[in-house]
Amino acid sequence: MIEARFQLNYPEFSLDVDLNLPDKGITALFGHSGSGKTTVLRCVSGLTRAPVGRLVVEGQVWQDEEKGYFLPTYQRPLGLVFQEASLFPHLSVRKNLEYGMKRAGNRQGEGFDASVALLGIRPLLDRAPDRLSGGERQRVAIARALLTRPRLLLMDEPLAALDLKRKLEILPYLEKLHDELDIPVLYISHAPDEVARLADHLVLMEGGKVVASGSLMETLGRADLPPAFADDAGVVLETVVAAQEVDGLTRLDFGDNSFLVSRVDQPLGKRLRCRIHAKDVSIALQARSDSSILNALPAQVQNITAADTPGHTLVQLVLADGRVLLSRITERSRATLGLVPGMPVIAQVKAVALLA
């Protein structure tokens, strides 16, 4: 468990957070610019000292201002990855990695060969940093951070400086980190699909405060989040490739339900994350055979809240197995359908966004 409590006041900004985070997997800090994400990361790293603060990582106290205790950054067993790779330009990739190993001391963790294999950088070892692409530099930076053998990995928008092609290049390696690392990762991003693809736990921030914190699936499925997050409303579902249909579609199963999507070139049994945007979910009172929408699931209305756009409503729908969908519809449609909590309906999913 990671216990992080910080209060910090600037003339134009105040931070006030109290978090209990899992000690495994990827926790994403998500919010718009100025929400306080990076300030939290700086407090966790020790680069900024909050006058009111307490930080405990897996039972080890790194900061306790009530007792006047503060462990400086260089003594904290953590790895840091920023937007820019910040590799030493006069050192080869191999020498950059060896520098990270020197910082590890006697701590246990990833070895040189394992980190190189995990990030796929063996062909790059003898190159200078200026002969690497942006994505390659970031992979080397991540490997160097891992070779410090940290107890906590901090990543501050590591993909923000990359173009789309480089982002798509590096995302599979970040997914490997998610699957294979035993250490917790704090991951800052303002890109919803990036968070949906990588995170296990989600912290939503606005104005220096935490507005929601919990598992990714549960938090994204809430209909009561502030308007600042309404444009990104939608849920993430873990699915399994179940069948390749003869008409060029793929069936993805999740729980007792399934989606049909355009053919996915993945083996049967492959697990895939999908993002269902609220704007891509419509509602009907009964199943229809005269619609082009293939994915129609029995559901029950759980909650109804006003959306950020005047005249629109966000409806939380619960499927039979307890999974949640969100639907963004007009207030006129809600009134026409007579939607109220507890009402049985059909959720029609117009589009399924594959995240992996």
Domain spans, the chain: 2-222, 232-354
Q: In degrees, to the nearest 5, what angle opens at C-alpha 43 toward C-alphas 38 and 48?
A: 95
Element containing residue 32 per DSSP (H, E): none
pTM, entire model: 0.85
Write down the architecture of domain 2-222 according to CATH.
Answer: 3-Layer(aba) Sandwich (3.40)
Distances (CA, A) of 71 to 48, 112, 229: 11, 27, 35
Please tell me the predicted confidence (pLDDT) of residue 175.
Answer: 84
CATH class name, domain 232-354: mainly beta
Helices (H), 184-278: 192-198, 216-220
Q: Which of 9, 10, 24 is nearest to 201 (CA)?
A: 24
Helix axis angle, 164-180 to 112-119, nearest 10°: 140
Structure tokens, 276 = 């269902």
Name the nearest CA neighbour of 352 among 249, 269, 268, 231.
Answer: 249
d(CA 15, CA 5): 10
CA count, 13 A, side-chain hemisphere, 154: 21
Q: What are phi and psi of 347, to 5 degrees?
A: -90, 120
Transcribe 272-305 into DSSP letters: EEEEEEGGGEEEESS--SS-S--EEEEEEEEEEE
Kind and range of the H or E run holding 148: none
> pLDDT tens track of the chain, all 356 residues?
899 999 999 888 899 999 999 988 999 999 888 889 999 999 999 999 999 999 999 899 999 999 999 999 989 999 988 888 788 889 999 999 988 888 766 665 568 888 888 888 899 999 999 898 888 888 999 899 988 888 999 999 888 878 888 888 888 888 888 888 788 999 998 888 888 888 999 999 999 999 999 998 888 888 777 655 656 688 889 999 999 988 889 999 998 899 899 898 889 999 988 889 898 999 999 988 788 888 999 999 999 987 777 888 889 999 988 899 999 999 999 999 999 999 999 999 987 887 76
Tell me what pLDDT residue 307 has. 72
Lookup: tokens for 352: 């399924």
> Using CA atoms, how far apart are residues 102 and 104, in angstroms rounded to an integer?
5
d(CA 48, CA 41): 9
Closest CA to 29 of 169, 159, 201, 170: 201
Q: Which two tokens stand for residue 349?
A: 């999913």
